[in-house]
A and B are shown apart, each in its own frame.
Chain A
Amino acid sequence: MQRRQLLIAGLLSPLLARAQARARLTVAAFPSVDAILKAANGDWQAREPGVELEVVSRAMVDHHTAMVTSIATRSHLPDVIAIELSYLGRFAGSGALEDLSQPAYGARELSAQFVPFAVRQATTPQGALVALPADVAPGTLFYRLDRLEKSGADLGELTRSWESFVATGVRLKAETGAHLIAHARDLKDVIVRANMGPNEGTYVDHAGRVLVDSPRFHRAFELARQVRVQGLDARTTAWSSEWAEGLRRGTIATQMMGSWLAGHLCSWLAPTTAGLWRAAQLPDGVHCAWGGTFYAIPKEAKNKPLALELIKLMTLDPKRQLAAFKSEDSFPALLETYGDGFFEAPIAFLGGQRARLIWRDAAQAILPFSVHRLDPIATEIVDSALDDVLGEGVDIPTALGEAQRMLERRALRA
């Protein structure tokens, strides 16, 4: 009898141990966001002492692919998903994420605390708020001051308009040999992202109409072609080894990207160029976003109230927002942080420039726009059309007309 009791106790002990284990909240994230989450563990434990925070991290693309698989199969779903802006449209329209504006979450009232454009990005056309923004990436123009001075041009000429930007590029090339930008596609990307009308997304509007064959895209393509024809782009894509080398050697004189690039330039891309770079608002007075991170709760999550608590900690706590800004260059989405003294601190890598003030102005000036689930394929179609214009000599109306037809064909299937 005693042996039998011992056997039963032995068999039950793992189950008992599991039952006694601490509750666990799982967050799926990607690099740098995972570090921000781990750094917040102390604050989380102070808030929820009995709940262990488990951060599952994968590379950016792998993370989003894994989340698609988890949602599709309804298995191994985390309680909180970190979503990068470029993937948000795909997830937002899926119906797989909780609507945080529902009374149970009450996040609609919280949304006024964030930069408006970020909240709009997380809002579906039906009005559901599927995520809260953790960080935004105000677009900025990084430029090599030494190259600009050598060319005899000034910042005003570089940024007055897109036409003057290109004209300054001609001088830069003639006087210094440096290319104005890395790839003509970069110019197109900024112009199509920054000049959207009300209720427009980058490629598709609120009503689902395709916007590719429009003046915004024609102008972007025309300027990109001018840059290519005049040999002003280095024909290298961002994150390639040629691109990094071009930034290091100063053969690429400007780079338009999110403010976070300053951190990458300083830490590993081009640390030897410290003091040579400056930041400015984008040319032509435009403002646009260059990524951003959002937190969402899957409908199948097991600990939704706790998940919301974590999201609130990561998005609404000024201390955590500023900590992420300082450690990972994650520009806060929370407006309350914008009065902090850290924004006014000079940045040594940018020659002591108080560039965070520029980025703060940009973040607040970005106009709201919507994301769409067709955005990834639309980007591919438009990029391919530009390739045809730049490399194959296809004329712009033909290329954009064909891109419009291809995208409409896919939109009609939706």
Chain B
Amino acid sequence: MRRPSAGFRLAARLRIASAPYLFLSPFLLLFAVFGLVPLAFSVAMACMRWDPVEGFGSMRFVGAENFAFTLGDPWFWKSLYNTLWLSLAAGVPQHVVAIPLAYFLHRALARTRNAIVAAYFLPYITSTVAIAILASALFSTDYGLVNDAVRSLAALPGLGSLLPAEGVDWLGSSRAVKPTVAIVVFWRYVGFNTVLYLAALQAIPREIYEASEIDGAGAWMRFRFITLPLLRPTMLFGVTLSVIGGLQLFEEPFILTPDGRGGPSHAAMTTAMYMYRTAFEFNDFGSASAISWLLFAVVGILVFVAYRWLRPRGAEA
């Protein structure tokens, strides 16, 4: 039998050594094209003035001018305030409701649990268009179901003086639009968090509860001293997702407010919406990129704060 030549052996070795890269290359290529290149382009864009209708040739370097302009723009600060307001108003109740709800579903329901969880999860997978149609049917000032319900309640003895005499302009008044958007966001994501916490609860060993019951712990004690501490890693994960999702909030205020403007006086215009409009409606892609990086910084800071607050005890910062 003839021995393979040295060249053949080297080629075979090279093929084996490069095989992992070969197999990884489709992902790496796609990631580079659709992930890294846009990211790098966005960094470059944040330092450029560019009106896309003038073509790439019109792009010129302006350094940090886009950041300076954005930081001096009252609409940017307003959008950031709206974003933080909506993140808190919609995000905090999601967890405050989802944790006890998941605990109740875990402990009290057995046969109907899956059906109920599916019902709570449904809004999360409902299409945005369907939500827009539903919201218009619910929150219309003159013809909406919510105002119909308010009017019906107001007709009851003793309630008339407590409820508004005229239909509330849920999406057309600057005072009502933010809470309305927050309610829709809460409704859409509370089911997702419930599923998250339910999965975590199911992973807690039953023996711990049994041992605590033998030691005389009641339901509240078990929830307070067993469930909550063991849910901490999941809470960190859920809160991190809520912080990121809340600060990037776009869809709900965009579809709920007329013309996607964020309501009167931009009362519900989030930073992500403002970024989109700056780029695609006002044709200022440089400032839009600067807004995106400033938003990224805010997201990073708040995720870090959430991590410091909820990190598992004993973990390194």
Contacts and interface: CB of A to CB of B under 8 A. Distances in A.
B289 to A, nearest CB: 14
B53 A91 contact: yes
A65 interface: yes
A413 B69 contact: yes
B56 interface: yes
Given A65-B280, A95-B54, A240-B258, A384 B49 contact: no
A251 B142 CA distance: 11
A94 interface: yes
A242 B53 contact: no
A295 to B, nearest CB: 17
A94 B169 contact: no
Contact of A245 (B75, B143, B169): B143
A380 interface: yes
User: Could you say which interface size class chain A belongs to?
Assistant: 35 or more
Contacts of A69: 52
Interface stretch (A15-23, A111-119, A326-334, A387-395): A387-395
B141 A242 contact: yes
B264 A391 contact: yes
Contacts of A95: 54-55
Contacts of B173: 391
B316 interface: no
A392 B56 contact: no
A164 B72 CA distance: 43
A73 B50 CA distance: 13
Contacts, number: 82
Contacts of A387: 174, 264-266
Contacts of B215: none
B207 interface: no
A51 interface: no
B188 interface: no
Nearest to B263: A387
A237 B258 contact: yes
Given A387-B265, A388-B265, A90 B53 contact: yes
Contact of A68 (B52, B140, B142, B174): B52
Interface in B127-169: 136, 140-143, 169
A376 B281 contact: yes
Nearest to B59: A72
A74 interface: yes
A380 B140 contact: no
Contact of B54 (A96, A235, A384): A96
A124 B141 CA distance: 43
A242 B142 contact: yes
Given A384-B265, A406-B74, A72 B282 contact: no
Interface residues of B, number: 32
A39 B134 CA distance: 37
A72 B172 contact: no
A236 interface: yes
Nearest to A95: B54
A295 B70 CA distance: 35
Interface string A92-120: 00111000000000000000000000000
A71 interface: yes
B51 interface: yes
A72 B56 contact: yes
A99 B259 CA distance: 33
A252 B65 CA distance: 47
B143 A236 contact: no
A69, A74, A91, A235 pick with most chain B CB within 10 angstroms: A235
B234 interface: no
Contacts of A246: 142
Contacts of A214: none
A90 B265 contact: no
Contact of A71 (B55, B142, B261): B55
Interface string B30-55: 00000000000000000001011111
A230 interface: no
A377 interface: yes
B283 interface: yes
A241 interface: yes
B142 A90 contact: no
A72, A236, A240 pick with most chain B CB within 10 angstroms: A72
Given A71-B55, A236-B141, A391-B173, 19 more contacts: A65-B280, A72-B53, A72-B56, A90-B53, A91-B53, A96-B55, A235-B141, A235-B169, A235-B172, A236-B172, A241-B140, A242-B142, A376-B282, A380-B282, A383-B261, A387-B264, A387-B266, A391-B174, A392-B174
24 contacts: A65-B280, A68-B53, A68-B280, A68-B283, A71-B52, A72-B55, A73-B56, A74-B55, A90-B283, A94-B55, A236-B172, A241-B136, A241-B140, A242-B141, A242-B143, A251-B142, A376-B281, A376-B283, A384-B266, A387-B265, A388-B265, A391-B173, A409-B72, A413-B65
